[in-house]
Amino acid sequence: MPKGGKKGGHKGRMRTYTSPEEIDAQMKEEKERKLHEQEEGEAIAQNEGTEEKIPGSGSDDSDDEGSEKRRGGVAGLIEIENPNRVAQKSKKVTQIELDDSKQLSRREREEIEKQKAKERYMKMHLAGKTDQAKADLARLAIIRKQREDAARKKEEEKKAKETTTGATKGMNSLSLK
């Protein structure tokens, strides 16, 4: 079925067909153009072969040619550079510096300072130099004193019981005899 459906072409135009002679002419033109491009490419390759090359620079030349071939139209003629784009530069291992004093963000610095302050406080607390440590030691001293007093009272009560029970046993034994 022809393009456009049953009714015909778009908006009533008549269809045009290319004749076989025109198709043959177009094919010949394309072949000639391709042959011409190949001949130019071979001529360029021969010119490069005759020029002296420094070892190791051959890869650079081929990269430049490839980039020129990739650009088409006006882009090949005009060099456009984006000022916002940052080109990444590769560094050699010898150029890389390993510095321990790298820049820290504000949050990281505050976190490190907070940890150091906490460590200092814990050292002083264990040494008994902080107010909280002094208060804790005073409470502990009071509690020790109370416990010692309670232990003394228990011992005195035990002795008192022993003496009273011993005296009653002694009386019981005398009364039986």
Helix 131-176 to helix 106-127 angle (10° resolution) is 30
Which pLDDT score is estimated for 60? 47
66-101 residue pLDDT tens: 554 566 667 667 777 777 887 777 777 777 766 555
Return d(Cα 125, Cα 136) in angstroms, integer.
Answer: 10
Taking a C-beta distance cutoff of 8 angstroms, is the pair 37, 45 a contact?
no
The two tokens of residue 148 are 């010692």
163's enclosing H/E stretch is helix 131-176
CA 136/CA 123 separation, integer angstroms? 15
Q: Does this model's pTM top 0.85?
A: no
